[in-house]
């Protein structure tokens, strides 16, 4: 079974530029998550989708971050304009259902963003 695919693996941009990350979840997984992992910290949820609807985006900085999951499959996370503090690893994860009792969240390898 193929895992969660993310691209690019690494990205370096200047502050105030824009950047986009792409995620392809495991086939059939209805729930998709984007997490931000700042160096030395645990991952923090940015947004959670159930199919193509948003379940939780309470910690997404909506003035600069946006995400979409058209057709309920692939997802794109965008930052515009980027700030220095956005430097982090952006992790995408997917699971079969919303509750993790009988399922598991599978994580991609992440995109490491450096803002200079």
Binding site for another protein (CB under 8 A): 4, 31, 33, 35, 40-45, 48, 50, 55-56, 91, 93, 95, 97-101, 103-105, 107-110, 112
H-run or E-run covering 23: strand 19-24
Nearer to another protein, 81 or 109 (CB): 109
As a whole number of angstroms, the distance between CA 46 and CA 62 comes to: 10
List, in sequence order, every residue forming a beta bridge with 33; answer none if it has no partner: 48, 93
CB of 50 to another protein, least distance (A): 7
Q: Which of 106, 51, 46, 104 lies closest to 78, judged by CA?
A: 46
CB of 40 to another protein, least distance (A): 7
Nearer to another protein, 14 or 85 (CB): 85
Token duo for residue 115 = 């803002």
CB of 14 to another protein, least distance (A): 24
């Amino acid at each position: 079974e193929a895992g969660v695919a993310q691209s690019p693996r690494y990205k370096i941009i200047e502050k105030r530029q824009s950047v986009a990350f792409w995620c392809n979840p495991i086939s059939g997984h209805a729930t998709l998550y984007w997490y931000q992992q700042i160096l030395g910290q645990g991952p923090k949820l940015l947004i959670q989708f159930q199919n193509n609807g948003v379940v939780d985006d309470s910690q997404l900085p909506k003035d600069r971050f946006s995400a979409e999951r058209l057709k309920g499959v692939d997802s794109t996370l965008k930052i515009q304009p980027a700030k220095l503090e956005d430097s982090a690893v952006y992790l995408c994860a997917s699971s079969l259902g919303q509750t993790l009792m009988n399922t598991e969240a599978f994580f991609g390898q992440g995109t490491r963003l450096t803002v200079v």
